[in-house]
Chain A
Amino acid sequence: MKNSLKTYLLSFVFLLSAFSCDDVLDVNTDPLAATSADPNVVLPYVIVQYSNRKQTELGTRTSDVPQYMSSNFNSPKTGSTTSFLTGNTWRMMYVDVLGNLALVEADAKEAGATSNNVAAIAIVLKALIYYELTSIWEDVPFTQAINGQEFPSPTFDSQETVLNGVAALLDEANTLIAEIPAEGVFDVSGGDLIYQGDMTKWEKLSNSLKLRVLMMIRNKDTSVDSQITALLSKPLIENSGDIAMLTYSGQAGAENAFQTIVSAFFGSDNESTGVHAPGPVFYDLIVNNNDPREQLFIYDPGNVGPPSIGQFSFGSFAHFSNNVIRGSLPDIFFTAAEVNFYKAELALKGVGTSNTQTEYENGVRNILTFWGQDIPGAITTLTGGEIDAYVASLPDLSLLTNADALTRVHEQQYLEAFLNPILGWNTVRRTGVPTMDPVPGTAISTYLKRFTYPPNEIAANPNTPANLPTDRPMWFE
């Protein structure tokens, strides 16, 4: 009985199934999404998402770790890195940036040599991100990352592996750039928000970034010196025109986060609210040396000096001027001065053939020219005479002991990396200059040296190493 009923039912079902036509059901294609995308629309996403997340997450929260600022909201300077800080940064770098760059790179490589420019841009940006990842967490997925098919749980590579791998990536980028054909090249000028498709500048950035990475490796392993020497003869970033940065128009929706955190929560600008203020170490290096950056950076009409570390100004102390904290402040990735100062440092260490004093002075001149004249949207400027006068007043490093001369160079490196949160932190950790002030109420023995791994990666990836104390130095230090 039961069986015949079932047959009866089933035949009814099959009878009616004749109505179910696959055409009717074929509506599962999202009309508001695309199945492929032009690099001219993916690259803007990658670059701007990277910049804004970095500025809001690292810039406005960790600038007090290397003590450029006196205090930041939700800062990890006392040793505790929250899951938001670590989680959001990690996700942005791996998922938003590297995940999209991998697709851009793969598409470009498939398209052949005419898209070498696109592939090279993707690889240089990828190298920049891995450099930052290892700077924040030390051991990070690199060789097995962004390949979920083959490696669903990527292993973590040592910092040495990652940094050397980054250098190799930049070599690959340069090879691709060198092999760009003369004609028929893909036009990436729209999507390339950094250099508008100018591949000679990308080549300079690639070489310069490699120099930055080798300088980090060199801190631990001087066997890269030969690579460095070879690199110094290649095109490097040499003036404000070469600088790698993302410009913000300053219009609503295109403002630098250092400004939007002020305008969203406190008031119209930093001078009137005193949200961002210099740390004493940074302030002293500028003000005590009569550095003209004082008039560019510092707002202190009452001449009260900076707040101490851990303290906000909110108008009671010196704080940053509207010339720095403004919606149109660019996000600076790499300046010419950084190269000059590496050359000066290397000369003092006997690597390469650069002249220490020349590079030291050129570095200062380059950074003052950038902040005082060439930076987009400047409110306060410096005259050529002011810059010349300050450069002329710089000490002759050859008259100092080698150690003192190195300290002078490192101090300039520290000043140069202002508002570049990871480079600044790396500079302090690499050179030990300047000496950080003790942080009140800190839970760690020294200043913050690393982030802990984010909970999401720990939960999903069994290969995540155990977290180390956040004051444990990294391999490169």
Chain B
Amino acid sequence: MKKILLLSIFLLSALFTESWAQERTISGTVTSAEDGSTMPGVNVVLKGTTNGTITDIDGNYKLSVPSEGGILSFSFVGLTTQEIEIGARSVIDLAMTADVQQLSEVVVTALGIEKEARSIGYGIDVIDGDQLLEARESNIVNAMQGKVTGVTISNTSGNLGSSSKVIIRGVTSLRGNNAPLWIVDGIPINDAQTPTGSRISGVRDFANGASVINPDDVETINVLKGAAATALYGSRAAAGAIVVTTKKGERGKNGKAQVSINSTVRFDDLLTIPDYQQQYAMGDAFKYDSSSVGFDWGPRIVGQTVNLPVTGESGPLTAIEDNGVNDFFERGVSLINNVSVSDATDKSNYRLSITSLNQDGVIPGQELDRLTLGLNTGMQHSDKLRSSFGIQYIKTKSVGTAAAGANDPNIIGLGSFSSTLDQNNFKPWIDASGNQINQTTPTSNNPYWIRNENRNDRNWDRYLGNFEVQYTPIEKLNILGRLGYDYEIDNRFFSNRKGTAQRLEGNFTVDGIRRSQINFDGIANYSTDLSEDFGLSILAGYNYNKRLFTRETLFGNELAVPQLFDPGNVNQTVSSRNFSERILMGAYGQAELSYKNWATLSLTARNDWSSTLPLENNSYFYPSASAAVVFTDALGISNNILSFGKIRASYAQVGNDADPYQLDFRFFPVSTASGQYGLNVNFPFNGQLAFAKANTIPNNNLLPEQQKSYEFGLDLQFLDGRIGLDVAYFKSQNINQIADLPIPQSTGFNFRTTNVGQVDTKGFELTLDAKVLEMGDFSWNSIVNFSQVESTVVELAEGVERLLIASAFNSVQVVAVPGEEFQLFGIPYLRDSVTNEILIDPNTGRRLAGEAKTFGSVLPDFTMGFVNNFSYKGLNVSFTIDWRSGGIMKSSTVEGLQNGGLAEETTLNREGTFIDKGGVILNADGSIRENDVPLRNSRDFWTALNDGSIAEPWIFDASFVKLREVAVSYTLPSKFFDNSFINSFQIGIEGRNLALLYSKVPHIDPESNLFGSGADGFGIERSNIPSTRGIGFNVRVKF
């Protein structure tokens, strides 16, 4: 039937041939079937000829065709190629549909090279910019949570502007080089995080560098996983790369400039608050003590008349709901507003975007304001020359960042709330003369004083610029030059007002950080068809990268005039400087051979020269190879069940350099002679300067680090693309790691820098996406991503049993131990060697401390994300569930809540003697007996649990399931706006971190982490600002 029809058309056209035997012009507009937008760049070819054109910026085309009919072929990467009989028409408009079957999705690979996903031999995940806008986050990193396979994202706390850590496919480095490289529009940007202070003396966690990327400006994020994917980026991307492409100018659907406005208001509250006990008052030994903050071992609360805390007034003792946590913590408010203007012609385009983010944190006195200005523009100068540039300026100003760690009076943790302490009584906190008032004791601070009078400011200016020129001297040859610059001025200011308990005379710290990075890539690319079936693409490039870091700090102590922060106004000033410079040069090449659009072999090579390595060893070469075969095409498989299948494999080797200045023995000028409790003295001392040797033995024979990895993957699509499955297995071996190895201090040094150890990773990733249901206007899409990574420390160095990765408090550390993943290391209970029962001291009835040991891996066993999207006409509902399983953590907050008798579980058997049934007593003959030594009461049990720095009772399984994101949006039908200037109007409700669905850690959010993104600390929590849950409302309008 069909044949007959075709034949008759053929005959018909043949009949008319003579009468139409001259050239004619055909024109039309190509649109996207998905959203109706016009499609520039679509190939329109008269089938069987080389006669063709591409659609212009408005989707229009015009083509001269012979008068005798013919067939027009419309093709565009990622869309179904359509062939249309011209017939007698002079106008052919076409709506193109996505080609799910072909999987010809475009991904951005290393160096910003766009490729069809079907030709890629390694793992890449793509996040569409719109996904980041469903529930907007102030740190873009968090918005990726649960959406990318094989990527673990963790943020540290509920602090505004806190840092977030990204680990792609597990940890591979023993020295903290586990963060991916961030690339924005082809330019590497700094993602480093520099905290001020130390965990020992109090630390401020500030956002990581990549947090400035504005979700409203993001077109796509491509996550490059594995060394083969990043090989052309060289050593800096050994831990993966996150390639961000920002939005470029485009014309609106109505052929005019496009203006879009996106406004969000969001409210944040604490996600979890501890289960505080409300039966017993502040104090000890059942005696009430109004100054006993965070230590609620006082009498049962029965309304007895006492002198109330803070005010000292007589009144009935009552429990304050939730210990006043909700009185002290406030509702955070965020306003996110974005306006963008974009337009394009066939010669030029531009997009201007302005975003303001204004946030009030949950902790009093905390604010963050960020202004982002972005301009992208490009120009087609001639057929052969094209240039573009983009600049972004991001100004972030934050005040009142909360302190974490220890030994800092500014730390406010969940353990500072007591059952009978009304937080409202702390107001006011200052009198007319500037003195602190309403304290519980003269040596403790009013929390509102801390929050309102002591400053924790950051003023951060970031400039990102890129300039790109593309020249096509001859067909098939493309030469590209790309220059990028990333500069930041990060000024921080901290002060303790005169009168702050523990810092009575007042002090201030000015911390000025400058960072710059200049990057140049010159790339030449030549693509040609070797034959009808073989295509070859050759690329060669050169890279220059220079990074500078400067830091100047000034500490002023003991102010004469309060609140005058000038070095002339203090009794003591201590200043310090820090500087580092590093240069990396690379030459690279790639050859890609393709066969019949179903097989691709790609080979790359790169050689780097690094300034941080010894001159004779500063060059290192590494190759990679990857291959992809679309076997369904190769084998001609074509059926409804398996509609697409691709197998991929890759192998890569990557090198890495050292940090600057690790080669020469050095003496440093010293400004501080450190002491316990931060009681330091300073140089010049009695007029004398001081220099000290480095405490790490340098190594001028350092070799580059080396990573070898391979990956296999399978892409399958079933039922005409309704179900997609992507599976990957990868393995990497990381050797010659440059690490500071601890050596006996009795040698006179702490460490020696050397090439040591081996860390292996292997893992498995699976992404399953399905169009679960499509009924009329209703559709339900579901994506499940699963990844399981095992990073094993294979060996350290001879005689080294473990290597410190990060250190916390009370002997709790994260360590590398051969044969294991990164381990939590701490002091356990002493246990009987035969029965493994906890041993009780027969003299005291308390548990005994054992020798420090490893407790288990701090890294998750697997992570899983579950993303669902329902849509019906203009209504869209989506939610993301994030599951992390395995890994352990130690919580100091829970420790404090239990030690202090604040937690609900401490009310059990509180009155009367208490025998700890959790342990046994070792008899003299080596046998054990049930514990029979009574404690005075349960207080003696809970307060003694951490005797001898025991960590064991507060080590928990950190697994959790979170409802990470829910977004509901409704796009108003366009007919509403037919006669107005509005093109589209969307309203939405969004929620972030809505619920902790499963957790084994009591009282706190198991995701909390003491370490910011700058350290490889995992699994240790202490005095963090509790994490938050946010609900927001969003309006998006396009003109």
Contact = CB atoms under 8 A, between A and B. Distances in A.
Interface of A: 1-2, 5-6, 8-10, 12-17, 19-20, 22, 24-38, 40-42, 44-45, 48-49, 51-53, 55-57, 60-61, 80, 82-84, 88, 90-91, 94-96, 98-100, 102-103, 140-141, 145-148, 151-154, 190-191, 193, 247-249, 251-255, 257, 260-261, 263-268, 443, 454-457, 459-464
A11 to B, nearest CB: 9
Contact of B674 (A53, A98, A265): A53
Given A9-B605, A32-B579, A265-B443, A254 B747 contact: no
Contacts of B579: 30-32
Given A33-B668, A267-B442, A41 B689 contact: yes
Nearest to A45: B690
B745 interface: yes
B980 to A, nearest CB: 57
Given A38-B691, A88-B676, 17 more contacts: A6-B603, A8-B591, A13-B589, A26-B615, A31-B579, A33-B668, A53-B674, A99-B693, A145-B746, A148-B749, A153-B744, A247-B686, A248-B681, A253-B680, A260-B675, A267-B504, A456-B750
B748 interface: yes
A20 B587 contact: yes
A2 B603 contact: yes
Given A41-B689, A153-B799, A459-B801, A36 B667 contact: yes
- Closest 5 A-B residue pairs measured CB to CB? A99-B748, A252-B572, A16-B587, A56-B675, A148-B747
A80 B577 CA distance: 39
Given A33-B667, A95-B750, A264 B660 contact: no
B669 interface: yes
Given A8-B538, A28-B660, A460-B742, A96 B605 contact: no
A16 B667 contact: no
A48 B673 contact: yes
Interface string B896-933: 00000000000000000000000000000000000000
19 contacts: A1-B593, A5-B593, A9-B540, A16-B542, A25-B609, A26-B615, A28-B611, A28-B612, A29-B661, A41-B689, A44-B685, A48-B685, A53-B676, A94-B748, A141-B746, A190-B687, A253-B571, A267-B442, A456-B750
Interface of B: 442-443, 502-505, 538, 540-542, 557-558, 570-572, 574, 577-583, 585, 587-591, 593, 603-607, 609-612, 615, 618-619, 621, 660-661, 663-670, 673-683, 685-695, 697, 742-750, 752, 799-802, 811, 841, 843, 852, 948-949
Contacts, number: 290
A62 to B, nearest CB: 11
B381 to A, nearest CB: 27
B443 A266 contact: yes
Contacts of A52: 673-675, 679-681
Nearest to B949: A82
Contacts of A257: 675-676, 679, 681
B498 to A, nearest CB: 12
B681 A253 contact: yes
Nearest to B558: A252
Contacts of B685: 44, 48, 193, 253-254
Contacts of A267: 442-443, 504
Contacts of B743: 148, 152, 460
Given A45-B691, A462-B799, A30 B666 contact: yes
A144 to B, nearest CB: 8
Given A13-B588, A252-B557, A49 B748 contact: no
A24 to B, nearest CB: 6
B93 to A, nearest CB: 45
B329 to A, nearest CB: 27
Contacts of B687: 190
B244 to A, nearest CB: 27
A310 B1005 CA distance: 38
A151 B582 CA distance: 34
Contacts of B443: 265-267
B673 A251 contact: no
| Most B C-beta atoms less than 10 A away, residue of A38, A95, A268 | A95
Nearest to A4: B591
Given A147-B747, A457-B745, A459-B742, A45 B670 contact: yes
Contacts of B442: 267
A1 B601 CA distance: 12
Contacts of B505: 263
Given A24-B585, A264-B502, A141 B748 contact: no
Contact of A455 (B590, B673, B811): B811
Contacts of A264: 502-503, 677-679
A41 B691 contact: yes
Contacts of A20: 585, 587, 609, 619
B799 A45 contact: no
A49 B674 contact: yes
